[in-house]
Amino acid sequence: MQAADISHHTSKRFNEDLERVRSKVLAMGGFVEDQLSRSLMSLVDADSSLGREVARDDYKVNGMEVSIDEDCSRILATRSPAAGDLRMIVATIKTITDLERIGDECEKIGLIAARLATIERPADRYREVKHLGRTVQVLVHDTLDAFARLDADAALRTCRQDRVVDEEYEAIQRQCITFMMEDPRTIRRALDVMWVVRSLERIGDHAKNICEYVIYMVHGKDVRHTSLDHIERELAERAVRRS
Amino acid sequence: MNSGGWLSLSMRLSAALAIGLVVGLIFGVPWAGVATVLAIALGLQLLHLLRVLRWLQADQTELAPEQPGPWGHLIAMIVRLYRRKQFHKQRLLRLLRELRRSTAAMPDGVVVLNPQAEILWFNRTAARLLGFRGKTDFGLRIENLVRQPEFVRYLRGSQYATPVIVRSSVGTEQHLSLQIVPYGAGQLLVLVRDVTREARLEAMRKDFVANASHELRSPLTVISGYLETLAQDTEVDPALAGPLQEMRRQAQRMTSIVQDLIELSRLESSDSDAVGQPIDVVALMAQLRQDVLARPQHPAQVLVRADSHAMLLGEDIQIHSAFSNLVENAAKYTPPNGSVQIRWWTDDRGGHFSVTDTGIGIASEHIPRLTERFYRVDAGRSRATGGSGLGLAIVKHVLQRHGAQLSIESEEGQGSKFTCDFPRERLQIPVKEAVV
């Protein structure tokens, strides 16, 4: 199933509309990726002005969501799409909601980073958080790539990556608790760090949701709330049947 | 061969016609004889034509039929044409393959786009740098895969003269330079280069300047403080008064250089566009005039001319520092009997702030380099006036962040005119004026 499938249409305008919506979703995704990387940069480099800038720019993400939402409603109303096109519109509407939430989490990270920049950084300069952040960045990037390529296999692989994020989140949480017990003066900072990693973990979950929409869009199968192994088995069976 | 074919054919035909005529005459029906010969000749020619057509249809050039006369000639010509075409095709294919191979092996990434910005082809380096994958990514829009907002903006705009630098989105600290080159009928070529090393060096340079100037500030403050105390101390040997005065002056100059360096590095460190708070340029001009008049030595005339009440959208501290740098420069290089005019006006293209003086002017060869750091037209004189050599560099950076441009007109001995041209988006026109 490739991009060519949705670009075969009797109405050229319809095609262009769908393509434009897709590009807009991915442009929004690109902006959210940028927000994520800048918010992490502001934390690691203790750059409070950058953190505030990220928080201030969140309104742009919201604006993009509203605009894409309108486009989708218009397509639904005027073109009454069916089958794959309908799935694409439905998946898009859900995807932008998750992207917007990722934007909100970035805003939170930016604000906390701006606050953390005013107090002393720990000796390891948030190495663990940085590592988790990188994992989440790759996750979001791969998710959007899967969306762009309509690649359900990649989406499934990316879904599995979310488990790594959850594990790292647990580890940092335990580490923070240890810090707080050792030295109560670090509680303030440790609590803020906990908020940051919590946001990162949530971003991972939202990325996973988007991957599920990609699978739905390509295969027409709702895979929410089912185990990954189950999905994989079912998709493999379909492939056999089709061939 | 050409004439030979025709000659033999026409000779044979006329011989056959003569025989036909003679035979016809013998039987008393000359025309029937001629007609029979002509019919046979026509039949023969049609047969040849049929053979040639069959041969062409079979598409097997090697098995050319042996044909007499002009037909053989025709076949030979077709074969030659075909061979020549084959030869050219082969050569072109070889050339194309060579070209592809060489572009594929290029150290820079190359992506070919159609007018809709869909990916037609890319080489290995581009695939590695941008994370493209073999055949599956052909036909996708490039902005769907290279999603950095800077690049998307660059692609949708049409200012392709300079490359855009983007951070790699996948966690790594990689910096990529992407340049679009339009060619042919709306096709686009994207050149991708890894500029991580250059970006890191540039960042190091900026960090160094910022850190060094910060570190220099505190010792300088201490030195200036003690010099101040010493200058006021009456017990100090009067013979030292002169040197002390000079030391204070130099310390002050150093402080102003360090301050300018700090400001410059702050301007450099944020590459985003300046935010837009409305600035009242008219009030700012009045204040700048006051500042100039407060100087111990100032030109006799400082004129302010406000032709517009439009507000400028920008960062007020930066705009203030840029404008005051321009005005102070003008005041510095204008003799006491000269005049300085500050003007603010708007037109269709945007807002303009200009400072005109009747000072010493600048020779034309210096003008392009004026905004370089520490560039001095006349080292002795500008040091005497106490400039840091960074003023115009600051002006340039501030204007860049506001999407504005600096233009300089000057004639030696006559005076200079510095104009800042702001785009329309940076203006906030008052309602009254807009109605008029």
What secondary structure does DSSP assign to A49-82, as a single string? HHHHHHHHHHHHHHHHHHHHHHHHHHHHHHH---
pLDDT score of A104: 94
Say how far apart CA B313 and CA B319 lie, in whole Å: 10
Q: What pLDDT, on a 0 to 100 scale, did the predictor assign at position B436?
A: 45
Q: What does the block give as tokens for B233? A: 């101390």
Tokens (6 digits) for B257:
């250089």
The interface residues of chain B toward chain A in range 120-159, judged by CB-CB distance below 8 A, are 131, 133, 136-137, 139-141, 143-145, 147-149, 152
Q: How many CB atoms lie within 10 A of CB B87?
A: 10
Of B140, B149, B270, the CB nearest to A148: B140
- In this structure, what DSSP letter does residue B231 have? H
Between CA A25 and CA A99 the distance in angstroms is 9
Rounded to an integer, what distance in angstroms lies between the CA atom of residue A194 and that of residue A135?
Answer: 17
End-to-end CA distance of chain B: 89
Q: Which of A20, A21, A23 to mutate to test the interface with B (most CBs of B within 10 A)?
A: A23
Is residue A1 predicted with pLDDT exceeding 50?
no
ipTM for this model: 0.80
Query: Which residue ranges form the domains of chain A, and what is each CATH number?
Result: 3-242 (1.20.58.220)
Residue A23 to residue B148, Cβ atoms within 8 A: no
Which of B114, B142, B147, B166 should we substitute to test contact with A (largest number of A Cβ atoms within 10 Å)? B147
- Give the distance, in angstroms, between the CA of residue B30 and the centroid of all CA atoms in the same chain: 87
Chain centroid, CA B326 distance in Å: 28
**Looking at residues A146-157, what average pLDDT do you find?**
89
Helix (H, G, I), strand (E, B) or coil at B121: strand
CA closest to A146 among chain B residues: B145
Report pLDDT for A207.
Answer: 94
Does the distance separating the beta carbons of B171 and A145 come in below 8 Å? no
Cα within 13 Å of Cα(B149), Cβ side: 15
Our measurement of the distance from residue B77's CA atom to the centroid of its chain's CA atoms, rounded to an integer in Å, reads: 52
Residues 235-274 of B with CB under 8 A from A: 270, 272
- From the list B140, B170, B272, which residue is nearest A149 (CB)? B140
From chain B, the residues in CB contact with A29 under 8 A are 147
Per-residue pLDDT, B435: 47
Q: How many CB atoms lie within 10 A of CB B315?
A: 18
User: What is the structure's pLDDT at B400?
Assistant: 86
Residue pair B9/B69 in contact by the 8 Å Cβ criterion: yes
CA A106 – CA A60 distance, rounded (Å): 13
pLDDT at A121 exceeding the cut of 80 = no
| Per-residue confidence (pLDDT) for residue B432, from 0 to 100 | 58
pLDDT of residue B172: 66
Contact yes or no for B136 and A151 at CB 8 A: yes
Helix axes of A228-242 and A187-219: crossing angle, nearest 10 degrees: 20
3-class SS string, B45-88: HHHHHHHHHHHHHHCCCCCCCCCCHHHHHHHHHHHHHHHHHHHH
As a whole number, mean pLDDT of residues A81-108 equals: 91
- Measure in Å the smallest separation between the Cα of A13 and chain B Cα atoms: 14
pTM (2 decimals)? 0.67
Distance in angstroms (rounded) separating the CA atoms of residues B143 and B149: 9
pLDDT at A76 over 80: yes
Question: Would you give the DSSP letter of residue A121?
Answer: P
The rounded radius of gyration (Å) of the Cα atoms in chain B is 41
One-letter amino acid of B160: Y
Q: Nearest by CB to A137, which of B139, B144, B170? A: B170
Provide the angle, in degrees to the nearest 10, between the axes of the packed helices B69-104 and B30-58: 20
Phi and psi at residue B119, in whole multiples of 5°? -75, 125
The number of beta carbons lying within 10 Å of the beta carbon of residue B18 is 13
pLDDT of residue B433: 52
Q: How far is B88 from chain A (nearest CA, A)?
A: 35
Between B268 and A163, where is the model more confident?
A: A163
Give strand pairing partners of B176: B166, B194
Closest partner residue to B143 (CB to CB) among A4, A23, A138 is: A23
Helix (H) or strand (E) holding B422: strand B415-423
Q: Please state, in angstroms and rounded to a whole number, the distance separating the CA atoms of residues B267 and B190.
A: 30
Closest partner residue to B139 among A3, A23, A138, by Cβ?
A3
Rounded to 5 degrees, what are φ and ψ at B305?
-130, 110
Residues in chain B: 436
Whether residue A140 is predicted with pLDDT greater than 50 in this model: the reply is yes
pLDDT tens string B315-364: 888 898 899 889 988 888 888 888 899 999 988 888 999 999 888 888 88
B contact residues 69-128, partner A, Cβ 8 Å cutoff: none
Rounded to a whole number of angstroms, the distance between the first and last alpha carbons of chain A is 13
Nearest CA in chain A to B167: A34
Which amino acid, one-letter code, is at B108?
D
The residue type at A227? S
What SS3 class is residue B140? coil
Q: Which residue has better confidence, A11 or B235? A: B235
List chain B residues with CB under 8 Å of A144: 147
Chain A residues in contact with B149 (beta carbon < 8 A)? 27, 30-31, 34
Per-residue pLDDT at B302: 87
Q: How many CB pairs under 8 A join A and B?
A: 57
Average pLDDT of span A49-59: 90
CA–CA separation, B113 and B190 (whole Å): 8
From B139, B147, B167, residue closest to A29, measured CB to CB: B147
The residue written with tokens 């410059």 in the block is: B264
Residue with tokens 């980073």: A113
Interchain pair A145, B131: CB under 8 A: yes
Give the closest-approach CA distance of B145 to chain A in angstroms: 6
On chain A, the residues whose CB falls within 8 A of the CB of B144 are 22-23, 26, 148
Q: Which of A116, A95, A121, A129 is nearest to A211 (CA)?
A: A95
* A41 touches B at CB < 8 Å: no
Cβ separation of A49 and B270 shorter than 8 Å? yes
Of A2, A26, A37, the CB nearest to B144: A26
Question: Which residues in chain A have their CB less than 8 angstroms from residue B131's CB?
Answer: 145
Q: Which pLDDT does position A199 carry in this prediction?
A: 94
Nearest to B143 among A26, A49, A133 (CB): A26
What distance in Å separates the CA atoms of residue B357 and residue B360, rounded to the nearest whole number?
Answer: 9
Q: How far is B269 from chain A (nearest CA, A)?
A: 11
Do the Cβ atoms of A21 and A71 come closer than 8 Å?
Answer: yes
- Nearest of B392, B393, B398, B383 to residue B254 by alpha carbon: B383
Task: From chain A, pick out residues whose CB is under 8 angstroms from the CB of B165.
Answer: none
C-alpha span between B252 and B254 (Å, rounded): 5
Distance CA B390, CA B373 (A): 5
Sign of the dihedral defined by the CA atoms of residues A161, A164, A170, A174, in that order: negative
- Answer yes or no: do A141 and B148 touch at CB < 8 A: no
CA distance B161 to B172: 27
Residue keyed to tokens 């250059």: B198
Chain B residues with CB inside 8 Å of A49's CB? 270
Q: Which residues of chain B have pLDDT under 50?
A: 1, 435-436
Phi/psi for B82 (5° steps) reads -60, -45
Answer yes or no: do B170 and A138 touch at CB < 8 A. Answer: yes
**Token pair 């049929």 in the structure block, residue:** B50
% of chain A with per-residue pLDDT over 90: 44
Residue of A37, A134, A149 with shortest CB distance to B167: A37
**B210 touches A: beta carbon within 8 Å:** no
Whole-angstrom distance, CA of residue B336 vs CA of residue B47: 108
Nearest to A149 among B136, B149, B169 (CB): B136
Give the best residue of A28, A149, A168, A203 to mutate against chain B (max B CB count within 10 A).
A149
Cross-chain Cβ contact A137/B272 below 8 Å: no
Distance in angstroms (rounded) separating the CA atoms of residues A31 and A48: 20
Across chain A, what does the average pLDDT equal?
86
